[in-house]
Structure 1
């Protein structure tokens, strides 16, 4: 298989993690270039992570004939613009979550990619983790009975400038887009992407973004999910899947390396340590899709991304939460 030549737009924490994964999978892909609005930052990043080239603008990277695919690692507000730039320059795209700000942006990107024969996918890495394949297997076996409810939380309180970025309305900050998308996405992975009813509430900052938000999702079969997220308070970061004959506890569910099944008086632990850092599973999948000429993933499907964004769009409407660039 021909090596996929990757570029990265952005030089933050998540870009560094992805660059490390590219190095780990060097037998099937190549880290060719990184772009930043500061050439100096791009050069430092390239030197540290082994990229061949550094670009002082996103356009230069997008126009490079040496790059096949681009990982978008910029703040949420820039995902649509950066992804569209790459697609218009004939590049495949793997874009960080949240894929876009709203459904209309996502639909346009998926259409643009399809029309041009290019691959695009939301980088919701959690969906590719081996632990969830086993959880699905257990739930589908029926040994625990039907799922009754899910409870999940994801609360963080990052220090200093990281927290400033996460609550910056100009960057589409807030708990929903940063960590809430994980508990919503995991619920959809396990119960389906079409809840019958969604009720939510949020504590908004002075800048108008959600510092903490809370979600109730109800499904046609009566299953419910009680979810919470925060960028102002730490939480246990745990998901509990309660079934009629037992339950599953998943610690750090967005980055699950295992889980525990409780049934009657029995307890069984399942361990699925990452091969590297957890990003390798989605990157391998993206490489395979690109090599096979696919325009979309059959795991992280476009309709899955759009379904979650639709839920989030409706939540924001309910809260009256708009970003400055939307007004």
Structure 2
């Protein structure tokens, strides 16, 4: 949804994070090692508090180190309400974010939904104290997902195709999906998909294992699952196309303090973004959350080496 993992849990996460930072000084990821100060070669890379963000944060850190930057890492910081002020005050230099949710956070009045619209609106919305470099092709966005069996039985390729079967569709998603503009109201307005209250199954794991099990077991017909979930490929699930961009584009993007954006920093981050496709991001997520349970930093180092980003960018 427009409220991603970070945005969706903001109320709980902010309260918990602020309490933790107040009560446990030494556990504050922003407390130690100071800031990058005025040295353009000194970079502090952070992440939000979920594995994908941490892994991508370590990818940035490894690529920057290979290009001569002095890099510190401060991972698992929390939601935007925590890390955006940290960027502004210099406690952080750089953190991975997602284009659609970032624009919604900075400018809640924005109506942009396509990647082109969002990419055009973001720089002005962020100025003067925040900036981005080129967004990656990798996109971690909400999607309507069905099993291969259902897609073949009903000849489904897009969300619009599902509308004719509205009365038969049991839909799983977090409870707030019923009310969010890009949830059931958006699917109804954009595609005519009408899900009755009795056919909505609230599951609070953000498209995680419980949601996937409900879909693959036949408990529900369709589900809201993030596009970078390794479970999609592992279970041969089908992501239905969203041609009307009900779900805003969510390309991974480096978010940084504007004063820290140098030509060399942007060159390195752009080189990373060019290699970071959705398929590659799914692979990173699978390495960290799948059977191998690789630590995010180790998975990032392996990926950077495979992509040839462990050497200076020409």
Please identify which structure carries the higher strand content: 1
Please identify which structure carries the higher helix content: 2
Q: Which has the higher contact order (CA 8 A, sep 6+)?
A: 2
Per the normalisation by structure 2, the TM-score is 0.30
